[in-house]
């Protein structure tokens, strides 16, 4: 069983710089960010990148403190797909591009993917690690110090300034929006949190959110009100 914690961060929701991160319980991790976004996009991006970074037949469990991200990825998605990607009321699915990308990644993975909710900011070692990395990425995105995206990646989109994003889950970390591109996972990422016993402090690898195809959509923000 592979267990990975995910988290997203938004410095000012909506529209502020965002960061996303996943932290494998074996010590590897990855993170990235974008100059603007929403908390929900950041949370969904963290889930997407975690699934994409862990292919193969071994069961994957994703632990997150965002109930919105978990329900989008494992519950609401089934009804949306059956209805042709519409809500129960016939309205559009918010953050559809990311939801579809997560759905496709999970369906194409040979091993099963399950989700587990954890209460944020309650001392869970790996949740705190993911939160730390997402915050670092968001601050780097705000400062413009993220590494440039790969030359093949499209430009990072911005969020519709007129859009609003309601609060989702009171336990989730700071809001976030991300256009993802996976930071390479490496064992060097055990390097980070000086507060984690047995780990050597070091800066994590940050990658700008950019991404291919369905990985993000600047016009998709907010939480779906009808399931």
Per domain, the residue ranges of the chain are 2-215
Are 178 and 207 spatial neighbours (Cβ–Cβ below 8 Å)? no
Q: CA-CA-CA-CA torsion for 13, 165, 178, 36, nearest 10 degrees?
A: -50
Report the candidate in 75, 52, 63, 188 with the shortest Cα–Cα distance to residue 131.
Answer: 63
43 is catalytic: yes
Look at residue 198 in the predicted model and tell me its pLDDT.
34
Look at residue 55 in the predicted model and tell me its pLDDT.
98
Architecture of domain 2-215: 2-Layer Sandwich (3.30)
Tokens representing residue 129 in the block? 């690690």
Q: Could you identify the residue written with the tokens 């089934």?
A: 78
By residue count, the chain amounts to 227
The β-bridge relationship of strands 2-10 and 18-24 is antiparallel
Rounded Cα gap, residues 48 and 171, in angstroms: 20
54 is catalytic: no
Catalytic residue among 49, 63, 65, 179: 65
Full pLDDT tens readout for the chain, 227 residues: 999 999 999 998 888 999 999 999 999 999 999 999 999 999 999 999 999 999 999 999 999 999 999 999 999 999 999 999 999 999 999 999 999 999 999 999 999 999 999 998 888 999 999 999 999 999 999 999 987 765 444 444 444 434 434 334 433 333 333 344 444 444 333 333 333 333 333 344 454 443 433 343 333 334 444 44
Q: Could you identify the residue written with the tokens 């991160």?
A: 21
8 is catalytic: yes
Tokens representing residue 75 in the block? 């519950």
65 is catalytic: yes
Report the candidate in 120, 116, 123 with the shortest Cα–Cα distance to residue 196.
Answer: 123
Look at residue 137 in the predicted model and tell me its pLDDT.
96
Look at residue 14 in the predicted model and tell me its pLDDT.
85
Question: What global pTM score does this model have?
Answer: 0.69
The β-bridge relationship of strands 60-64 and 29-34 is unpaired
Look at residue 121 in the predicted model and tell me its pLDDT.
84
Catalytic residue among 16, 32, 43, 224: 43
């Amino acid at each position: 069983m592979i267990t990975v914690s995910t988290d997203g961060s938004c410095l000012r929701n909506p529209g502020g710089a965002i960061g996303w991160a996943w932290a494998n319980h074996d010590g590897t991790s990855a993170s990235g960010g974008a100059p603007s976004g929403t908390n929900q996009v950041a949370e969904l991006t963290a889930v997407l990148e975690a699934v994409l970074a862990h292919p193969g037949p071994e069961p994957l469990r994703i632990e997150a403190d965002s109930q919105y991200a978990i329900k989008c990825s494992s519950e609401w998605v089934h009804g949306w797909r059956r209805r042709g990607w519409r809500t129960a009321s016939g309205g559009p699915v918010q953050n559809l591009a990311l939801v579809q990308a997560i759905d496709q990644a999970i369906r194409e993975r040979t091993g099963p993917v399950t989700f587990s909710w954890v209460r944020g900011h309650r001392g869970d070692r790996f949740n705190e690690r993911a939160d730390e990395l997402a915050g670092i990425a968001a601050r780097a995105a705000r400062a413009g110090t993220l590494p440039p995206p790969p030359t093949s990646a499209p430009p990072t989109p911005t969020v519709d300034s007129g859009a609003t994003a309601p609060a989702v889950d009171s336990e989730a970390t700071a809001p976030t929006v991300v256009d993802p591109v996976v930071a390479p996972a490496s064992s060097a990422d055990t390097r980070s949190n000086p507060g984690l016993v047995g780990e050597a402090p070091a800066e994590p690898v940050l990658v700008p959110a950019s991404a291919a195809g369905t990985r993000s959509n600047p016009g998709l923000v907010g939480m779906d009100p009808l399931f």
